[in-house]
């Protein structure tokens, strides 16, 4: 067996690393599976892993149109947190947080989950009050949260300008100490390898082009590599949920938008926490490699382009310098964009659909990376049993029809406003 | 950065505009007589076309008119920009 | 120390000597040098350490492709890490330091990592550091400290940056021969032409050709045309939508500090009708063991140092090649006084070229190099048909310079950013543009057309770049990130087969040079490992920026106080003079309270509240949004956007209204006054002034275009003060005014126009505090005069100016909700207890959604009041309400505290809250629990109106 450990690294090192086996197989698609998951991102792969692990379903395929992890899983700013206000969101994300904490060992793949703390800054009394409410709600949901005053923030983030003579002085913040970052690619790879070891077929370069239905529900998918039959189809295609759902005749409360991210050149450690600015759109952390990893707002109009424009990048730069004026002479090394499902209430949609056998895992907006383990967990449950798990009961598509939108920001049905 | 050719003000940078979502979503004229399904459809469901997309933008730092754009959401190319075309729910020009 | 400078030639100015220091030692160079050329001239070869193994590294390239020679430039607040020595123009007093080493560049402790490097292959960290879990933070700490490169500056940047916008017909990117020619042609055709080049001098490859006279003529011709703008030291870093290009012009980087008043860098947003991409090509290295020692260099770089800077980068050279370009280069090096010991050519060729004095080794490859901190020699061997070394054929050659010439890679980054597709051309073993993209033409070497340049010309008959198939020792592909051929092979072996997987697994091409010299070699190795042609292996996406862009340049002037505009009411100076404490409210600064000497905030706020309840207070409410509506259909329009009716509102009267979004949630509230039959003025909340305007315009223009209504925002045109308190009428009556303020003349919710103390005014009898109150609106410029007049006249009534904190207390005592804490975007009008306001006789925005089950259902949160059961304890702000029997268990929350104040009027703490089914639970006792500060207070649910529930005071 190809277990990863310090010992195996040394053993293979002595042999010149020629003995390592592929992390996953490269199988030809079979004609029939018990379950097919469309989309080889973190969510699709995690779902397959938990289908096999928790529900004993091994005859499962993950179909990925490109290379696995090449969607938003490999493009995000890797922030992991469960600091949500609304109960339905908080409990779901906290389940994810708990899974994250044991993930490297569960997968036998170091996903470099780094619990360095996530701070949301407040710049006014009103913001701090809102954080009080959120923090209290979190604590009562069993989630760690601390309210920080200005001095606490200064002590936690030494380089930050918390002086009063800036445009938006820092008043305090909400800290989730267990929040942090993880290595995004490793999450996809780790789940892929672990799922593969449980018999899941991971099929790359296989694009789903149609969904076949019969009287009972779905019967399979048309792909660039031929028809694949299955009575259980799960969609986990991030920015393309509407396209895939439309293949089965389902319309969704989702628009696709581009979100950009960027990294600076690597420098020695200067920032040990994840910081979210409260008077503009910026979140920043420093990767283990030394790059400052930053993101901001979506560009704000429908897009499938996987690239964005300068205004957002310039705004992110300005917000960064508002907190850390000393970073002015550092340079941005790379910028990129990913296409995200933006839902009408800013919360994800995960569960059943009106079409029997068709399941949806989408609408992740800015924040689906942190959800990866929990999403896979409950989606596997939903696909295996046909019923949502308690944790995603409120996150199903029918909430819109029931007038129970989960509007975490209270911004209304404008996807670009969440 | 998009360059939007406002029929009133001429070509202006996208930063002068704010986005208003899909243009082909017409508000039911008599909401109280509309059933739940149709109302939900209007409120929440979108085609989210991958290709040419009809959408609304408001020229907030200009003439403040709501405008209708047809834009390719893959290349971002703006195919047309005009006053609103009516009725909204029908397919474009 | 040996002097490597030639006595003549080059583009340096020998009359202008420049002193500089590197790692604390002083050196001399000339004006026109780069730091790299000056270091080479002084015989300095070791300049940096690599990212992962801390291997000694030297100068490798000539410009932006440099992977190794990254230094920390300048000192103090101007210090910046990771700057390429090849792009630093020398100036007097320049200070540079090497980085990523300890204790010194020569003796770097971390280079010991090289000894265990066999246990640190690509991605090793994914396979270990998992046990025990609690140690991971320590492992991570160590990883972080080893990684990174330079150190971040620690003090704010003393320089400033600016942004400019430009427009042109043609943007030419690159000032080499192809770009210059294109610019001239376009300019002669009458187009507005901009030409940008990264270098200080135009000419590109011509500069290295020694004879730049043709280029000089073209440059002179371009300079003489007024439709041409030449931008030197300017990188075109990105192509964005609708032909927008991002450019950074380095206006001050070649100086010790920018000239007085000048920005350090300038970010251009340039819209170009079309672009000509003439960005040239970058030479590729060849890959073999220990191919990274100081003294190993791209051939084109060696030529550049010789010709542009008159520096010999070594004394005795070996050239390693797989194409014809090396032969011309050898002749040039020899002419420059460098002894060319050998040309090692991978190819097996019948036709032999002679270079005097140099040994020509065909069908040979370099298999290893020697030298600790600088190259001293190479091992060459003959190749067999499989590309392996023929045993016994190895030979040692002494040299201190090894020039690598593996062909040229067109710089197609911006073409790719523009959406262009690439095709693999076998003859030059490179990716080239496949077809035109709209608005961009690729010319010259960037297009794979190497015809124009003397040394790129021999690009044909290229061979594989890798010497040996057995990747035993370190054969570096990506020098900056220490990615070896073995790493790429390992990735392929482990199933990371997509070129994107390889990049991410090994970090190939992810350094600050973005793989300009390594990407294609990576593809070649991967293509071998997978046994697939390079064309199928493909290429990773080129992501902007082409060269790294300073964060300061991207932020421009939006720094310090200028991050966002500062909004000030007309009375701001009055408040400042009065010593108000301010609180931010969106972009505004509003008076929070007005402390008197020796007063605490609580004391001040209590005094202000009581002044309003007992006498009179004034507050600046100019920040509220104000919208002027004209037209015959305004009443109908208002009827449709508010939940309550507006048709019957009489001229001279005001009405409070609540607006919903179409999903049924409260969007905003405010008052509307009917000024005339077809003229209304609406107020909005401060935060929502903009969104309400856009919301109304949407319904007016998009949904009901038939309504004849004209709207204008007039927030900035008016200064508004509310005069509130039982003696507010007395105060106003004491002023000289033609308005009758008496109850009969001006009842509650009436408005009147006239003049007060000679100032034209509109007076609205509306109240937020629950007291008898008047809002006085005057044209903005009269604001301070009105404010001072009210304060002066108010003295006899003990008038108190009050701030937002007192305002909050007053409205809490009255049970008024506000947008944000109570109406948080998830609340309906009924939740706020305004069910009776919902008109059932008309359609209005949001009404239809109220019938959806979730909104009509029985378990919604209602606005309620809270009082501490003990009558004393402050109710924790932001606390969660728990049913008593639930406390301690996973709680189903009963609601939450939204606003908590001390009520001076009741002399006890009170709060507003949103409680589940709260209106049905009046009198119920709950816990208000705030785990954040570890407080639990027993509270009782009350009606939200604590003061004057019948509203007698405001009608008085
Ligand atoms: C710039 C950016 C920053 C972000 N930052 C964060 C963050 O800090 N924290 C956080 O929690 N979240 C963040 N997110 C969101 C997060 O990345 C996503 O929500 C999450 O990764 C989604 O995972 P996924 O597996 O659902 O999607 P993906 O990883 O996108 O996987 C979907 C896969 O489906 C494939 N696919 C699509 N169509 C088809 C088809 N027809 N047939 C077969 N396969 C198909 C795609 O190729 C893709 O690989 C960010 C997103 C972006 C773009
Ligand atoms: Zn306009």
Q: What is the CATH number of the domain that holds B12?
A: 3.30.2270.10
Q: Same domain, yes or no, for A169 and A261?
A: yes
Residue B70 belongs to some domain of the structure? yes
Interface check A404 vs B, CB under 8 A: no
Ramachandran class of C910: left when φ > 0, alpha when ψ lies in -120 to 50, beta otherwise: beta
- CA A245 to each of CA A206, A218, A416, B47: distance values in angstroms, whole numbers, following the listed order: 17, 12, 21, 11
CATH architecture of C826-942: Beta Barrel (2.40)
**CATH class for domain C624-795?**
alpha beta
| Confidence at C469, pLDDT banded by 50, 70, 90 | low
Interface check C628 vs B, CB under 8 A: no
> How many whole angstroms separate alpha carbon C857 and alpha carbon C941?
21
The number of residues making up chain B comes to 93
Beta strand pairing call for B52-58 and B66-72? antiparallel
Residue B8 belongs to some domain of the structure? yes
Strand order in the sheet with C25-31: C25-31, C13-22, C94-97, C70-73, C80-84
C21 has a pLDDT exceeding 60: yes
**CATH class for domain C159-283+408-460?**
alpha beta
| Confidence at C455, pLDDT banded by 50, 70, 90 | very low
pLDDT at residue number C2: 58
The residue-averaged pLDDT of C168-180 equals: 96
pLDDT at residue number C458: 42
Q: Same domain, yes or no, for A263 and A339?
A: yes
Residue B42 belongs to some domain of the structure? no
Residue B63 belongs to some domain of the structure? yes
CATH architecture of C13-127: Roll (3.10)
- CA A204 to each of CA A69, C127, C566, C928: distance values in angstroms, whole numbers, following the listed order: 10, 23, 53, 53
Residue that is last in its domain, among A343, A376, A400:
A343
Q: Same domain, yes or no, for A352 and A381?
A: yes
Are C402 and C317 in contact, with CB atoms under 8 Å apart? yes
B92 has a pLDDT exceeding 50: no
Q: Same domain, yes or no, for A262 and A172?
A: yes
| C74-127: pLDDT as tens digits | 999 999 999 999 999 999 999 999 999 999 999 999 999 888 888 899 999 999
> How many whole angstroms separate alpha carbon C310 and alpha carbon C303?
9
B88 has a pLDDT exceeding 90: no
Mutate one of B48, B73, B76 to test the A interface: name it (highest A CB count within 10 A): B48
The encoded tokens of residue C370 equal 């020697």
Task: Point out the least confidently predicted range of C188-192, C386-390, C845-849.
Answer: C386-390
Task: Point out the least confidently predicted range of A79-88, C77-86, C791-800, C852-861.
Answer: C852-861
C466 has a pLDDT exceeding 80: no
Residue A18 belongs to some domain of the structure? no
Q: In a 3-state reduction of DSSP, which class is residue A198?
A: coil
- Specify the long-range contacts of residues C526-535, CB closer than 8 Å, at least 24 apart: C526/C488, C526/C491, C526/C492, C526/C497, C526/C499, C526/C502, C528/C464, C528/C466, C528/C469, C529/C488, C529/C489, C529/C492, C529/C493, C530/C492, C530/C497, C533/C424, C534/C424, C534/C429, C535/C423, C535/C424
- The protein residues having their C-beta less than 5 angstroms from ligand 2 (an ion) are B 6, 8-9, 59, 62-63
| C496-523: pLDDT as tens digits | 999 999 999 999 999 999 999 999 999 9
Are A367 and A37 in contact, with CB atoms under 8 Å apart? no
Are C331 and C345 in contact, with CB atoms under 8 Å apart? no
Residue A349 belongs to some domain of the structure? yes
Q: Which CATH number fits domain C285-406: 1.10.287.130, 3.40.50.2300, 2.60.120.10, 3.50.50.60?
A: 3.50.50.60
C906 has a pLDDT exceeding 90: yes
Mutate to test the pocket of ligand 1, among A366, A370, A373, A408 (most ligand atoms within 8 A of CB): A366
Q: How many CB pairs under 8 A join A and C?
A: 333
Q: Comparing A7 with C213, which gets the higher pLDDT?
A: A7
pLDDT at residue number C470: 58
Give the CATH number, domain containing residue A275: 3.30.9.10
C457 has a pLDDT exceeding 90: no
Residue that is last in its domain, among A319, A343, A367:
A343
C384 has a pLDDT exceeding 90: no
| Confidence at C134, pLDDT banded by 50, 70, 90 | confident
Residue that is last in its domain, among A343, A372, A400:
A343
| Confidence at C472, pLDDT banded by 50, 70, 90 | low
The residue-averaged pLDDT of B71-78 equals: 96
C452 has a pLDDT exceeding 50: no
Give residues (CB < 6 A) around ligand 1: A 38-44, 63-66, 70-73, 75-79, 207-208, 236-238, 240, 244, 259-261, 295, 338, 340, 364, 366-370
Interface check B29 vs C, CB under 8 A: no
- C131 CA to centre of own chain: 37
pLDDT at residue number C115: 86
pLDDT at residue number B91: 44
**Domain interval for residue B55:** 1-21+51-87
| B60 Cα: distance to centroid of ligand 2 (angstroms) | 8
Nearest CA among A259, A347, A343 for reference residue A303: A259
Average pLDDT of chain C is 93
C821 has a pLDDT exceeding 80: yes
Q: Report the domain count for chain B.
A: 1
Give the CATH number, domain containing residue A42: 3.50.50.60
- Neighbouring CB atoms inside 10 A of C760's CB total 12
Residue C43 CB-density burial (10 A; 0-12 exposed, 13-18 middle, 19+ buried) = middle
Segments of chain C assigned to CATH 3.10.20.440: 13-127
The number of residues making up chain A comes to 418
Mutate to test the pocket of ligand 1, among A47, A369, A375 (most ligand atoms within 8 A of CB): A369
> How many whole angstroms separate alpha carbon A73 and alpha carbon C452?
44
CATH homologous superfamily for the domain C467-547: BFD-like [2Fe-2S]-binding domain (1.10.10.1100)
- CA A17 to each of CA A20, A107, C119, C666: distance values in angstroms, whole numbers, following the listed order: 6, 21, 9, 63
The fraction of chain C above a pLDDT of 70, given in percent, is: 96
The residue-averaged pLDDT of C178-202 equals: 95
Residue B33 belongs to some domain of the structure? no
| C551-568: pLDDT as tens digits | 999 999 999 999 999 999
Residue B39 belongs to some domain of the structure? no
Interface check B37 vs C, CB under 8 A: no
Residue A11 belongs to some domain of the structure? no
| Confidence at C453, pLDDT banded by 50, 70, 90 | very low
C437 has a pLDDT exceeding 90: yes
pLDDT at residue number C461: 41
Question: How close is the nearest chain C Cα to the Cα of A215, in Å?
Answer: 30
- Per-residue DSSP letter, C81: E
The DSSP code sequence of C768-825 is SSSSSEEEEEEEGGGHHHHHHHHHHHHGGGT-EE--HHHHHHHHHHTT---BTTTB-S
Q: Comparing C389 with C882, which gets the higher pLDDT?
A: C882
**Domain interval for residue A314:** 115-179+256-343
Q: Same domain, yes or no, for A261 and A339?
A: yes
| C135-150: pLDDT as tens digits | 999 999 999 998 988 9
Closest Cβ opposite residue C548 in set A25, A317, A332 = A332
- Per-residue DSSP letter, C324: T
The number of residues making up chain C comes to 956
pLDDT at residue number C289: 93
pLDDT per residue rounded down to tens, chain A (418 residues):
479 999 999 999 998 898 999 999 999 999 999 999 999 999 999 999 999 999 999 999 999 999 999 999 999 999 999 999 999 999 999 999 999 999 999 999 999 999 999 999 999 989 999 999 999 999 999 999 999 999 999 999 999 999 988 999 999 999 999 999 999 999 999 999 999 999 999 999 999 999 999 999 999 999 999 999 999 999 999 999 999 999 999 999 999 999 999 999 999 999 999 999 999 999 999 999 999 999 999 999 999 999 999 999 999 999 999 999 999 999 999 999 999 999 999 999 999 999 999 999 999 999 999 999 999 999 999 999 999 999 999 999 999 999 999 998 889 888 888 8
B93 has a pLDDT exceeding 60: no
Residue B28 belongs to some domain of the structure? no
| Confidence at B87, pLDDT banded by 50, 70, 90 | confident
B67 has a pLDDT exceeding 70: yes
Q: Report the domain count for chain A.
A: 2
The closest residue, in CA terms, to atom 31 on ligand 1 is A41
Longest dimension (CA), chain B: 42
Contact map slice: B 41-70 vs C, CB within 8 A: 43, 56, 58, 60, 64-66
pTM for this entry = 0.96
């Amino acid at each position: 067996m190809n277990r990863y450990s310090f010992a195996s690294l040394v053993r293979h090192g002595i042999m010149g690393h020629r003995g390592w086996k592929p992390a996953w197989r490269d199988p030809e698609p079979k004609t029939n599976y018990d379950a097919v998951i469309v989309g080889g991102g973190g969510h699709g792969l995690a779902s397959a892993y938990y289908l096999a692990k928790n529900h004993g379903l091994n005859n499962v395929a993950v179909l990925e149109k490109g290379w696995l992890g090449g969607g938003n899983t490999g493009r995000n700013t890797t922030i992991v947190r469960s600091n949500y206000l609304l109960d339905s969101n908080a409990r779901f994300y906290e389940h994810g947080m708990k899974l994250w904490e044991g993930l490297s060992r569960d997968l036998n793949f170091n996903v470099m989950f780094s619990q360095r703390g996530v701070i949301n800054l407040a710049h006014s009394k009103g913001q701090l009050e809102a954080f009080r409410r959120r923090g209290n709600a979190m604590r009562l949901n069993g989630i760690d949260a601390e309210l920080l005053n200005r001095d606490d923030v200064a002590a936690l983030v030494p380089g930050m300008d918390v002086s009063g003579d800036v445009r938006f002085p820092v008043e305090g913040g909400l800290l989730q100490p267990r929040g942090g970052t993880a290595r995004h690619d490793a999450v996809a790879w780790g789940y892929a390898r672990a799922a593969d070891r449980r018999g899941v077929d991971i099929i790359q370069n296989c694009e789903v082009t149609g969904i076949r239905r019969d009287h009972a529900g779905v019967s399979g998918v048309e792909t660039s590599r031929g028809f694949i039959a299955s009575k259980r189809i799960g969609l986990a295609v991030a920015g393309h949920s509407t396209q895939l759902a439309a293949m089965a005749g389902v319309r969704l409360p989702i628009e696709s938008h581009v979100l950009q991210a960027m990294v600076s050149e690597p420098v020695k450690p200067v920032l040990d926490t994840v910081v979210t600015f409260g008077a503009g759109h910026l979140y920043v952390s420093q990767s283990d490699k030394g790059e400052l990893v930053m993101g901001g707002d979506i560009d704000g109009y429908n897009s499938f382009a996987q690239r964005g424009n300068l205004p957002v990048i310039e705004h992110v730069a300005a917000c960064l310098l508002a907190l850390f004026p000393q970073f002015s002479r550092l340079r941005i090394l790379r910028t990129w964009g990913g296409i995200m499902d933006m839902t009408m209430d800013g919360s994800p949609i995960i569960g059943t659909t009106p079409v029997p056998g068709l399941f949806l895992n989408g609408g992740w907006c800015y924040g689906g990376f942190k959800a990866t383990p929990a999403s896979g967990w409950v989606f596997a449950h939903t696909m295996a049993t046909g019923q949502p798990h308690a944790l995603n009961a409120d996150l199903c598509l029918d909430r819109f029809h029931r007038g129970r939108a989960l509007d975490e920001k209270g911004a209304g049905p404008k996807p670009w406003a969440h | 950065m998009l360059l939007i050719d406002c029929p009133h003000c001429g070509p202006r940078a996208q930063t002068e505009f704010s986005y208003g979502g899909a243009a082909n979503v017409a508000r039911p004229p008599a909401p109280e007589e509309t059933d739940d399904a149709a109302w939900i459809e209007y409120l929440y469901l979108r085609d989210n076309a991958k290709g040419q997309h009809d959408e609304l933008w408001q020229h907030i730092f200009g003439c403040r008119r709501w405008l209708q754009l047809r834009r390719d959401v893959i290349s971002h190319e703006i195919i047309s920009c005009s006053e609103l075309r009516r009725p909204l729910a029908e397919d474009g020009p | 120390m040996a002097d490597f400078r030639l006595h003549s030639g080059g583009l340096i100015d020998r009359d202008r000597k420049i002193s500089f220091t590197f790692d604390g030692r002083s050196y001399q160079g000339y004006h026109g040098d780069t730091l790299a050329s000056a270091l080479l001239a002084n015989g300095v070869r070791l300049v940096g350490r690599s990212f992962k193994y801390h291997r000694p590294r030297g100068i490798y390239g000539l410009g932006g492709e440099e992977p190794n020679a990254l230094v920390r430039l300048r000192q103090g607040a101007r210090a910046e890490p990771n700057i390429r020595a090849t792009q630093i123009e020398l100036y007097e007093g320049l200070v540079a330091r090497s980085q990523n080493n300890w204790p010194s560049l020569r003796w770097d402790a971390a280079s010991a990592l090289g000894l265990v490097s066999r246990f640190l292959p690509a991605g090793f960290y994914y396979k270990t550091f998992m046990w025990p879990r609690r140690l991971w933070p320590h492992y991570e700490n160590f990883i972080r400290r080893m990684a990174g490169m330079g150190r971040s500056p620690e003090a704010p940047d003393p320089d400033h940056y600016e942004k400019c916008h430009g427009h042109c017909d043609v943007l030419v990117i690159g000032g080499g021969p192809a770009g210059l020619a294109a610019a001239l042609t376009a300019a002669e055709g009458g187009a507005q032409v901009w030409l940008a080049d990264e270098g200080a001098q135009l000419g590109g490859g011509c500069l290295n050709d020694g004879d730049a006279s043709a280029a000089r003529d073209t440059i002179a011709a371009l300079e003489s045309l007024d439709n041409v703008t030449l931008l030197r030291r300017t990188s075109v870093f990105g192509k964005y939508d609708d032909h927008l290009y991002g450019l950074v012009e380095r206006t001050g980087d070649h100086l010790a500090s920018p000239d007085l008043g000048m920005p350090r860098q300038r970010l251009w947003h340039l819209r170009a009708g079309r672009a000509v991409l003439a960005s040239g090509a970058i030479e590729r290295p060849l890959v073999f063991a220990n191919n990274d020692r100081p003294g190993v260099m791209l051939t084109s770089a060696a030529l550049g140092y010789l010709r542009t800077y008159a520096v010999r980068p070594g004394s005795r050279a070996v050239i390693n090649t797989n194409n014809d370009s090396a032969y011309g280069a050898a002749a040039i090096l020899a002419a420059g006084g460098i002894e060319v010991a050998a040309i090692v050519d991978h190819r097996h060729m019948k036709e032999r070229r002679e270079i005097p004095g140099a040994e020509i080794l065909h069908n040979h490859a370099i298999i290893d190099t020697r030298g600790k901190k600088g190259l001293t020699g190479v091992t060459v061997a003959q190749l067999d048909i499989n590309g392996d070394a023929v045993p016994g054929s190895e030979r040692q050659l002494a040299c201190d310079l090894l020039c690598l010439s593996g062909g040229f890679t067109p710089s197609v980054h911006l073409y790719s950013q523009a959406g262009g597709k690439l095709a693999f051309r076998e003859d030059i073993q490179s990716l080239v543009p496949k077809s035109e993209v709209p608005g961009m033409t690729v010319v010259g070497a960037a297009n794979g057309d190497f015809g124009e340049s003397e040394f790129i010309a021999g690009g044909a008959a290229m061979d594989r770049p890798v010497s040996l198939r057995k990747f035993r020792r370190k054969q570096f592909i990506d020098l900056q990130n220490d990615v070896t051929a073995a790493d790429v092979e390992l990735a392929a072996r482990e199933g990371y087969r997509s070129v994107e997987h390889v990049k991410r697994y090994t970090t190939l091409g992810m350094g600050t040079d973005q793989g300009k010299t390594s990407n294609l070699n990576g593809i070649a190795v991967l293509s071998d490992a997978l046994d697939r042609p390079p064309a199928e292996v493909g290429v990773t996406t080129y992501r902007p920026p082409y060269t790294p862009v300073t964060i300061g340049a991207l932020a421009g002037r939006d720094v310090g106080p200028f991050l966002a505009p500062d909004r000030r009411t007309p009375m701001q100076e009055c408040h400042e003079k009065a010593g108000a404490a301010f609180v931010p409210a969106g972009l505004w600064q509003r008076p929070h309270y007005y402390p008197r000497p020796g007063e605490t905030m609580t004391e001040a706020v209590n005094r202000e509240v009581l002044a309003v309840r007992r006498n009179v207070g004034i507050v600046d409410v100019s920040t509220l949004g104000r919208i002027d509506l004209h037209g015959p259909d305004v009443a109908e329009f208002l009827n449709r956007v508010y939940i309550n009716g507006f048709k019957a509102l009489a001229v001279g009267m005001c009405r409070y209204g609540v607006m919903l979004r179409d999903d049924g949630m409260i969007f905003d509230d405010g008052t509307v006054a009917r000024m005339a039959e077809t003229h209304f003025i609406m107020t909005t909340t401060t935060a929502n002034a903009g969104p309400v305007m856009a919301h109304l315009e949407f319904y007016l223009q998009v949904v009901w275009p038939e309504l004849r209504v004209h709207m204008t925002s007039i927030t900035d045109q008016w200064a508004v003060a509310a005069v509130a308190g039982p003696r507010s009428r007395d105060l106003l009556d004491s002023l000289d005014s033609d308005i009758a303020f008496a109850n009969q003349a001006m009842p509650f919710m009436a408005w009147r126009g006239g003049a007060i103390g000679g100032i034209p005014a509109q007076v609205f009898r509306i109240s937020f505090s629950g007291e008898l109150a008047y809002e006085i609106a005057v044209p903005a410029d009269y604001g301070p005069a009105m404010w001072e007049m009210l304060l002066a006249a108010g003295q006899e009534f003990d008038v108190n100016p009050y701030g937002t904190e007192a305002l909050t207390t007053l409205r809490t005592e009255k049970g008024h909700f506000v947008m944000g804490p109570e109406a948080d975007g998830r609340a309906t009008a009924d939740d706020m207890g305004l069910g009776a306001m919902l008109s059932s006789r008309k359609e209005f925005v949001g009404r239809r959604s109220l019938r959806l089950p979730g909104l009509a259902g029985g378990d919604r949160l209602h606005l309620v009041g809270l009082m501490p059961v003990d009558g004393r304890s402050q109710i924790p702000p932001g606390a969660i309400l728990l049913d008593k029997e639930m406390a301690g268990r996973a709680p189903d929350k009963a609601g939450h505290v939204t606003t908590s104040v001390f009520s001076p009027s009741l002399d006890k703490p009170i709060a507003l809250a949103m409680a589940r089914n709260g209106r049905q639970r009046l009198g119920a006792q709950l816990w208000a629990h705030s785990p954040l500060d570890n407080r639990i207070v027993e509270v009782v649910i009350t009606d939200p109106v604590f003061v004057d529930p019948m509203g007698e005071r405001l009608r008085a």
